[in-house]
Structure 1
Amino acid sequence: MSQEAVPSSQPKSLLQQMEELMAALNADLSQLDADFQQSAERPAPTLADGPDRA
């Protein structure tokens, strides 16, 4: 099934389309930054913490 947008009575201007794309990109980048910040708070595993060590 296709996920095409339902056309409105007036097509969006190129500027409006770009603003929407930039807003979506900004939200994605903010989420990615939050994920990186969260992963940076955890210490990286060392060789002594590897799977062979119980």
Structure 2
Amino acid sequence: MSQEAVPSSQPKGLLQQMEELMAALNADLSQLDADLQQSATRPDAALSDGSETA
């Protein structure tokens, strides 16, 4: 396993690596949620103007 990104003088511990990965994953999921929320409101806005009533 390569550790080129980790400086040899101060190697990161497994816990620190996991925390950084979880923070990056959380940021990605937050962005995905925001994108989904934004795309989900577009069709609702088109329907709520009364143009598509049954």
TM over 0.5: yes
Stretches of structure 1 that go unaligned for 5 or more consecutive residues are 45-54
From the two aligned structures, give the one with the greater helix fraction: 2
User: What percentage of aligned pairs have identical amino acids?
Assistant: 90
TM-score when scaled to structure 1?
A: 0.67
Q: Larger RCO: Structure 1 or Structure 2 (Cα < 8 Å, ≥ 6 residues apart)?
A: 2
Runs (4 or more) in structure 1 with deviation over 2 Å come to: none
TM-score when scaled to structure 2?
A: 0.67
CA RMSD of aligned residues (A): 1.7
How many positions carry a matched residue from both structures?
A: 41
